[in-house]
């Protein structure tokens, strides 16, 4: 399986990092070694002093496809989970300044905890109005709603599939709302979609 991710998909988060609003989705990938399941702990890496959480909705691909038209995109994902796009902000900042790739800042081991439980698409009343939140030590730090996305799920699927064949079991991180911030050893992070807690793990 592959992990694709969209950067800069929520306007307020673009502002907080002083980034430019993109004309097309900003795409990056994480290797499968980034994945953490079963609420296993995240180990703070030695190469960074500024690892940030980014709470995100994650689409699960259920059908292989490429060059998918936006109007058919809904057939290619069947469920939504919660993921954290851990980012070594100090390494990313250096890479951004030099125009270099983000891979080590975004794709390092354990940088993608994803909930075991996914909620089926047909259980949502409206995909363009899904609330989700990330808490640290029980305090809500990020609250998002899919109505605030610059690029919709269907647009993301269509755009990504121009470049990459999507396969069953792939995940797509769909971008983080405002409120990102640093984690430290001992923090407990949890992620919820509507009022259901799907993910909870410790930073060690
Ligand atoms: Mg992100």
The per-residue pLDDT for range 124-175, each reduced to its tens digit, is 999 999 999 999 999 999 999 999 999 999 999 999 999 999 999 999 999 9
- What is the predicted pLDDT for the residue at 112? 98
The alpha carbon of 54 and the centre of ligand 1 are apart by a number of angstroms equal to: 5
> How far is CA 79 from its chain centroid?
14
Q: How far is the CA of 142 from the centre of ligand 1 (A)?
A: 12
Angstrom distance (rounded) from CA 189 to CA 204: 11
Please give the pLDDT value at position 124.
97
pLDDT digits (tens, 9 = 90+) for 14-71: 788 888 888 999 999 999 999 999 999 999 999 999 999 999 999 999 999 999 999 9
Q: Cα(173) to centroid of ligand 1, in Å?
A: 7
Q: Tell me, in angstroms, the distance from the centre of ligand 1 to residue 14's CA.
A: 11
CATH H-level, domain 3-202: superfamily: Fumarylacetoacetase-like, C-terminal domain (3.90.850.10)
- The domain limits of the chain are 3-202
Quote the ligand 1 centre to 7 CA distance (angstroms).
5
pLDDT in tens, 91-130: 999 999 999 999 999 999 999 999 999 999 999 999 999 9
From the number of C-beta atoms within 10 Å of its C-beta (0-12, 13-18, 19+), residue 74 rates as: middle
The predicted structure's pLDDT at residue 187: 98
CA of 5 to the centre of ligand 1 (A): 7
C-alpha–C-alpha distance, residues 46 and 49, integer Å: 8
This prediction's pTM: 0.96
Which residues place a Cβ less than 5 A from the ion ligand 1? 54, 85, 176
Tell me whether strands 51-53 and 181-182 are parallel, antiparallel or unpaired. antiparallel
Phi then psi for residue 200, to 5 deg, are -155, 125
Mean pLDDT of 62-81: 98
- In angstroms, what is the span from residue 50 Cα to ligand 1's centroid? 15
Supply the pLDDT for residue 77. Answer: 98
Q: Mean pLDDT across the stretch 165-193?
A: 97
């Amino acid at each position: 399986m592959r992990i694709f991710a969209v950067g800069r998909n929520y306007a307020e988060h673009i502002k907080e990092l002083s980034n430019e609003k993109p004309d097309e989705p900003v795409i990056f990938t994480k290797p499968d070694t980034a994945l953490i399941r079963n609420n296993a702990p995240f180990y703070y890496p030695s190469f960074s002093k500024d690892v940030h959480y980014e709470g995100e909705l994650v689409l699960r691909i259920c059908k292989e496809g490429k060059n998918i038209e936006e109007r058919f995109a809904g057939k290619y994902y069947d469920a939504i989970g919660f993921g954290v796009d851990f980012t070594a902000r100090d390494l990313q900042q250096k890479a951004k300044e030099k125009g270099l790739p983000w891979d080590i800042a975004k794709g390092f081991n354990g940088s993608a905890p994803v909930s075991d439980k996914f909620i089926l698409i047909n259980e949502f009343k409206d995909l363009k109005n899904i609330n989700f939140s990330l808490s640290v030590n029980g305090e809500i730090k990020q609250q998002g709603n899919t109505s605030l996305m610059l690029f919709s799920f269907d647009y993301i699927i269509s755009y990504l599939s121009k470049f990459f064949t999507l396969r069953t079991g792939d995940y797509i991180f769909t971008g983080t709302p405002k409120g990102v911030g640093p984690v430290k050893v001992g923090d407990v992070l949890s992620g919820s979609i509507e009022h259901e807690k799907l993910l909870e793990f410790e930073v060690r």
